[in-house]
Structure formats: structure tokens, C-alpha cells
Amino acid sequence: MKFATLADGGLDGRLLLVSRDLQQACDASDLAPHLLHAVQHWAQVAPALQQRYDALNAGQVAGAFALNTERLAAPLPRSPQWCDGSAFLNHGRLMERAFNTPPIPAFDTVPVMYQGASDDFLGPRADVPLPSEADGIDFEGEFGVVLDEVPMATPAERALAHVRLLVQINDWSLRALGPREMKSGFGFLQAKPSCSWAPVAITPDELGPHWQDGRVHLALQVHWNGAWFGHPHGREMNFGFHELIAHAARTRRLSAGTVIGSGTVSNAARERGSSCIAERRVIELLDQGEIRTGFMRFGDLVRMEACGPEGGPGPFGVIDQRVVAYPPKA
């Protein structure tokens, strides 16, 4: 199934079902008022949602309408918990060099994860308000999973059974603020503003063979101000989502609606580009001896789409956003 959330002025929006080709949608709020409710009551509501989804794809739902992503919130406008990993070790190693930080202990064997803000996820077309260009505004393209309730100490081999949805995320970062917060030992706060989500959340079966080993086997196309920036592939994720879930649940129960992120999609092959600016900057430093790329400016645009296996439209839709100053000028 494919889901979206209509921004209706409420905290959680209104649940929509979206056709497989992302062209049509229909209201599903009579079955579950919003997506968080659906995830929290999956066993009760999923059969009826599946039936209506099948009817939508068959053109048999009265009141179906063309999907307009400008009216959409994030599929989950808020969730109980957002835990973001750094499962692409190529990115992590490059960031250690970028920030001149010592190697993380057991980085190859124990996942790295921080807990971010989950109360204000941004929609796919929403402007992204930030206070200062001097903070080093950066995008970070990644994949994520939305979970049902995960018992404490769930092992990795049983963790994927708790994945209800797959999502695509832009985990915004403010690079000038990150080093100080990392050195504090308390993790990120100011360096991590609200994330943005692609318009559609999908059940894992929608990916078919491209969801395997707890990884999204698709390329993430990134464009900055209309220019190609990168298309790194999700298959190079060193820790699968099953391992990230088990890591997060080792000492706590994960409530339904918890979101786990993969961290920045990153590949060793330089020709695939990057999905964040900081990674390009450190590659420039290593390969060319100097940093040539600046961070984002107000008015800049970023576009992200996980492309289909043949390079066509992807299953999550498109993040297409502009960075703006906050507070806005009168």
C-alpha cells in the first residue's frame, strides 16, 4: 500500500491512500483518521485499507482525485520517536575527516545513532525556514522505516517483522553547529532542525525485490538548484535496518510509530556523487586539495527522489523544497 497525509490544519493531518503510479488518491480517514493511528492499530485497520487500495488501483473508488503534492504534509507529521543511524560507513569515515574527529570506537561493528526531534516533520513541498546561512545549511538524503511496537531486546533476526512502512527523508543539518555538539558528548540538538519527508510512505511489499536484506535497493537522485549532485545507491548500507532496529531496542521498547533512519546514503564510488554537501566538500579536500563548494543559501532549491529500478519515477514521490530565512522579512 501507499499512503500520504493531507494537510488539514490538524496535528496529524488526514489519511490518504495513493495509487501505485502516484497519480490518484482517495480519502481513507474513515478507516484510520491519520497514518500514526493506522500504524498503531495495524492489525485492525490494514485489511480494510488494503481492500480500498486495491479498488483505487482498479479505478473503482468513487471520489478518487488527482494527487497534488503541494497539499500534502509529511506522511507522518509527527511521531513518538525519531532515531537516525549512520549506517553507510563510507559517509561516517568521510565525516570524521571533515570534522577532524577521532575514529568512533567499534564503528564497523556497532551502529551509530542519535535521537532527533520528531514533533515537526516537514512536508515534501514546504519551504524550510532556518535562522542563518552562517550555520552551514546542508541537506542529507536517506531512507527510513516506520515501526509497529518493538519489544525490548528484539534481536535483529526478528526485527524486520516490525517494519510497517518505508519512507524517504531529507535530514537537514547545520554543519557549523555540529562539531561543538559532537564534542560535548550529549549529541545533536541545534545542528539538527526538522526533517523533511517525501510525500508517500509505502509498505515493504511495494518494493518487491528492491527491498532485501533490510535495505532499500534503489538509487537516490539529488539535485541542488537544478544541477545533478549525486545518485548514491541504498544497497551499500553497511548495517541493515534489522540491525538498526535491534540496536535501538536493546534497552527500551519502541512504541508504534517510531521512525528509524539509515543516515546519509553514501557510496565509495566517487562517480555516484553524494547526497549531502559536507561529503562533497571533504572529497574535494581529499582529491583536489581544497574545498570548492559552499553550503546552501536562502532561496536555494533541493530535489530528491529515490528512482525506480530502470531510472524512472520512484515509489516515494519527490522532495522539492526551498530554504528560506526565519523569521521572514516583513
Residue pair 14/6 in contact (Cβ under 8 Å)? The answer is yes
Select the more confidently predicted residue: 108 or 61. Answer: 61
Distance CA 188, CA 277 (A): 18
Residue pair 156/244 in contact (Cβ under 8 Å)? The answer is no
For the segment 217-225, the average pLDDT, to the nearest whole number, is 97
| pLDDT given at position 330 | 66
- When pLDDT is cut at 50, 70 and 90, the band that residue 91 belongs to is confident
Distance CA 315, CA 181 (A): 35
In 3D space, the residue among 327, 178, 322, 155 whose CA is nearest the CA of residue 248 turns out to be: 155
Task: Determine which of 96-100, 120-124, 256-260 has the lowest per-residue pLDDT on average.
Answer: 96-100
Domain ranges of the chain: 2-71, 76-325
| pLDDT given at position 286 | 87
- Classify 110 as helix, strand or coil: coil
| pLDDT given at position 99 | 66
Residue reference for cell 541542488: 224
| pLDDT given at position 90 | 85
Distance CA 55, CA 278 (A): 45
Select the more confidently predicted residue: 103 or 162. Answer: 162
Residue pair 217/210 in contact (Cβ under 8 Å)? The answer is yes
Task: Determine which of 55-59, 86-90, 218-222 has the lowest per-residue pLDDT on average.
Answer: 86-90
Burial 63-77 (b: 16+ CB within 10 A, else e): ebeebebebbbbbbb
The predicted-structure confidence for 259-318, as pLDDT tens digits, reads as follows 999 999 999 999 999 999 999 999 999 899 999 999 999 999 999 999 987 777 899 999
Q: What percent of the chain has pLDDT over 90?
A: 86
Q: Is the pLDDT of residue 37 over 70?
A: yes
For the segment 126-135, the average pLDDT, to the nearest whole number, is 98
pTM, to two decimals: 0.96
Q: Is the pLDDT of residue 205 over 70?
A: yes
Task: Determine which of 58-72, 97-111, 131-145, 219-233 has the lowest per-residue pLDDT on average.
Answer: 97-111
CATH numeric code, 76-325 = 3.90.850.10
| pLDDT given at position 27 | 98
| pLDDT given at position 102 | 75
Task: Determine which of 23-32, 164-173, 308-317 has the lowest per-residue pLDDT on average.
Answer: 308-317
